[in-house]
Amino acid sequence: MSPKSSRAEARRTRAAIVEHGVRLASVEGLEGLTIGRLAADLGMSKSGVLGHFGSKEGLQLAVVDEAAEVFGREVAQRADGTSPGLPRLLALCSAWITYLDGDDVLPGGCFFTAAATEFDDREGPVRDAVTGLSTVWQHDLRRHVRLAVEAGELPGDTDADQLVFELTGQALALHHARRLLRDAAAADRARRAMARLLGHALPSPDRAAPRRTPAAGR
């Protein structure tokens, strides 16, 4: 009866499931995410939810994809207007800290930090997806470290892998201090640590991703 495409409606339903799923999973974990809870929250039947994914593992994989989109939107894309190399690296780290410190994106904080420890002892497609996205992010950071070295913005003897390892450590320490220990100073500590590692101050959170030239600024 409805003139609207049922496929479009199905797509929207699926999107709603996945969006709520990533929120639930950020709190309860990917394994603690249940089809029944998801169905109840969305006013659907369990089989209505499951039909979009085939199995719980299919649902988990869709949620990991959605989490990657959230991370891309909240971190990677916020540095889009900056030049490759050190400026991009500083903008990425600043956005990363803002994302990890914030309460407004996902209720349980960074999905990947939680999924990493939850799945590091398992095998299978979900673990592989989490690992793959972590690797992509590290490669992204390393690429800009190398560009910064080539441009003379970082010392010539910089060990790119080591630097990315240590930056990642500060992000993980921020998650730990902010969410487990509820330390409000954690973001400042991470910011200071990363700035020292990079030899340059990080841009302030509010202006992390200027889309135009600084001439437009105050």
Distance CA 58, CA 44 (A): 18
Residue 212 one-letter amino acid: R
* Helices within 29-159 (DSSP H only): 35-42, 46-50, 56-74, 86-101, 111-119, 125-150
Beta carbons of 99 and 178 less than 8 angstroms apart: no
Sites of contact with a copy of itself (CB under 8 A): 26-27, 29, 31-32, 107-109, 113-114, 116-121, 130-131, 134-135, 161-162, 165-166, 168-177, 179-181, 185-186, 189-190, 192-193
The nearest distance, CB 18 to DNA, in angstroms, is 11
197 contacts: CB under 8 Å, gap ≥ 6: 163, 166, 167, 170
Nearest to residue 73, comparing CAs of 98, 45, 48, 46? 98
- Looking at residues 90 to 119 of the shown chain, list those that interact with DNA (rule: CB under 7 A): none
Tokens (6 digits) for 205: 């959170």
Residue 69 identity = E
How many residues sit in the footprint of DNA (CB under 7 A)?
24
CB of 138 to a copy of itself, least distance (A): 8
- Indicate the residue among 4 and 182 with the shorter CB distance to DNA: 4
Q: Quick one: 107 or 152, whose CB is closer to a copy of itself? A: 107
- Report yes or no: 194 and 92 within 8 Å, Cβ to Cβ: no
Give CA–CA dist 171/99, Å, rounded.
10
> Among DNA, a copy of itself, none, what binds residue 166 when CB lies within 5 to 8 Å by partner kind?
a copy of itself
Give the x-and-dash track for 148-167 against DNA (CB under 7 A): --------------------
**Residues in 31-60 that interact with DNA by CB under 7 A:** 33-37, 39, 43-52, 54-57
Q: Which two tokens stand for residue 2?
A: 């409805």
Task: For the CB of residue 71, give the shortest distance to a copy of itself in the complex, in Å.
Answer: 15
The values of phi and psi at residue 185, to 5°, are -85, 0
- Among DNA, a copy of itself, none, the one that 198 touches (CB under a kind-dependent 5 to 8 A) is none
Q: Does 10 bind DNA (CB under 7 A)?
A: yes
What residue ranges bind DNA (CB under 7 A)? Answer: 9-10, 13-14, 33-37, 39, 43-52, 54-57
